[in-house]
Amino acid sequence: MKALLYKDFLVLWKQMKFVIFMVAIFCLLPNLGFGLNNMWVVYAGLVIPTSLLAYDERARWDNLAEMLPYSPRQLVLSRYVFGWGATLFAGVFYCIGLLINGQESLETGSFATLAALFAVVLVFQAVLFPLIFRMGVEKARVCMILVIAGVMGVWGASAYLLEKQPALLPHVPLPPVLVVAVVLCLASVKAAEKQYAGRRW
């Protein structure tokens, strides 16, 4: 699977190196009330692996992969691992940005926000990746846009209520939410493998 990850990295560096720099730069910036660093963590975890899948789809990579000694599980899992790596990459720069801007205190809630972003990305990956392996990138991308729009709407409304009327929102412990997101994402690997095996290219 290392070779598959290396292949994805080469494609990413050749086709999207500008995006890599953009993720790093914007994750380093302070929030400034716009949530730019938050958005780029989600972007790294969702758009980068989805774009790589789109490049592979256009290049008919799956036809070549069938002739290589890789199982469907290895092919699917490599995409998940790369998505997790992209999310972690953005998270590292997010933390560096917090330290640079003097927001290292846990009381600011910045690290809790990052954990919440990780949970959101993992849930999105758990839903989106099986759809991509079944329907293809373009059809699944429409679903992704609709889901992201819905979640962002809920996120914005929750943030507004939390600021104006914090008593209206129940306090949900973050660690269990993150654990549930991890479990869902790991469970979706098997579902994505089945969808990949059932797809006709």
**Segments of the chain with pLDDT less than 70:** 30-36, 102-110, 148, 150-173, 199-201
pLDDT score, position 115: 84
Q: What is the DSSP letter of 167?
A: G
Q: What's the rounded Cα separation, in Å, for the pair 128 and 122?
A: 10
Q: What is the DSSP letter of 34?
A: T
Q: What's the rounded Cα separation, in Å, for the pair 102 and 104?
A: 6
pLDDT score, position 32: 54
pLDDT score, position 163: 55
pLDDT score, position 142: 76
Tokens of 194: 């089945």
pLDDT score, position 171: 58
Q: Is 32 left (phi over 0), alpha (psi -120 to 50) or beta?
A: left
